[in-house]
Structure 1
Amino acid sequence: MNRIWITGFRDYELGIFNNKDPKITVINYALNKILTHAINDGCKWLITGGQLGIEQWAIEQALQLKETKFPEFKVAMMTPFIDFGENWKENKQLKLGDLKKRVDFSSAVYNDSYKNPQQLRGYQNFMLAHTESSVIFYDTEAENSRAKFDYNAMQFYATNHDYPIKLIDFDRLQEYADEFQLENSDY
């Protein structure tokens, strides 16, 4: 496994509206564990998008691991289209721009503005074709989550390809929260 795709819930889908939310601590703990395990198993690249929530937090954790433990690890941000994020609030646009500067590679799958949903399906196909496995933070009970489209695409792709999918649902997130609490009893 050389390249992994990590995606999932948007921040607002988890009820996270600021960077001080304690849920982010647990999610970052989970992402750090997942990435460390993947790197130790031979993963060389994290390839993800720049979506608010899991994707941006995954980039931040990967960059931190690259800085502190695994300098050879690489991070790529692939956005679906060229003007991705331009309609976001200014502070979120600035964060996206900062992450684009800090990753090893950044580009858009479509070198054009958003035109139609077919671009998002093309983006999913690109991500699946350029990674060997994925981790998705998604719960099938969360029907309104946009992550369900990525999850469905991953499952469909895996029917004809050797493509492991690791699902991090709410129960697994609770297990990570319990692990974090045990390891950080003074937190």
Structure 2
Amino acid sequence: MKVLAITGYKAHELQVFKNNDPAVHYIKKAIQKRLESLLEEHAELEWIVISGQQGVELWAAEVVFEMQVEYSHLKLAVLTPYLNQQEKWKDQNKEYYETILSQANYVDSISKKPYESPIQLKMKNQFIVEKSDSILMVYEEESPGSPKYILEAAKHKALQSDYPIFMIDSYELQVIVEELQFDESQDW
């Protein structure tokens, strides 16, 4: 496994409207914990691929940047669905996004045009699944959201080949919250 795609809910789907929301801290810790485990199991894991959407994907990018200190071979690719996807975002979100892009090892757009139709999003999902060896999702099928479309593409690939689909669900997030809160209470 050389390439791992990471995706999940968009920030607004989680009712998170600021990157300093406590929920972001726990989601990032869950991603970090899972990534560390995958790196231990799959030493050949080299690339993390995201599409750069707000929420789980950009938070995962921050985790990758932090982990690159210890795992210097780990690289981040941002493959946007179309040109200028951040065009209509709020200024602070644009700045955050540009910071992520400036630190990524590779940035490109799958469609070399600005947004035209939802077909570009479908193409993005298919392309990322096709180019990755596995996928990590912060998602629950019982709470559908935009990640359901890439999950469909991932499940389709998994039926045809060895394509692991790793999930971080609300139970795993709750365990992380409890562990971190316990650790913090022991630090006094």
State the TM-score, normalizing by the size of structure 2. 0.93
C-alpha distance in 2 between matches for 1:162 and 1:63: 28
**Structure 1 gap ranges (5+):** none
How many residues align structurally? 185
Secondary structure at the counterpart of residue 28 of structure 1: helix
Equivalent residue number for residue 120 of structure 2: 119
C-alpha distance in 1 between matches for 2:154 and 2:106: 23
Deviation at 1:103?
0.6
Deviation at 1:111?
0.7
Q: Deviations over 1:79-118 (max 9, x none)?
A: 0001211110111111111111101000111111111122
* Contact 1:39–1:73 (8 Å) recurs in 2: no
Equivalent residue number for residue 15 of structure 2: 15
**Structure 2 gap ranges (5+):** none
Secondary structure at the counterpart of residue 134 of structure 1: strand
Amino acid corresponding to residue 130 of structure 2 in structure 1: A
Equivalent residue number for residue 135 of structure 1: 136
Amino acid corresponding to residue 101 of structure 2 in structure 1: K
Equivalent residue number for residue 107 of structure 1: 108
Amino acid corresponding to residue 124 of structure 1 in structure 2: N
Q: CA RMSD in A?
A: 1.4
Secondary structure at the counterpart of residue 16 of structure 1: coil
Secondary structure at the counterpart of residue 160 of structure 2: coil
Amino acid corresponding to residue 13 of structure 1 in structure 2: E
Amino acid corresponding to residue 108 of structure 1 in structure 2: S
Amino acid corresponding to residue 30 of structure 1 in structure 2: A
Superposed, which structure 2 residues align to 1:169-180 within 5 Å? 169-180=169-180
Q: Percent identity?
A: 28
Equivalent residue number for residue 31 of structure 1: 31
Q: 1:64 aligns with which of 62, 66, 90?
A: 66
* Contact 2:77–2:107 (8 Å) recurs in 1: yes
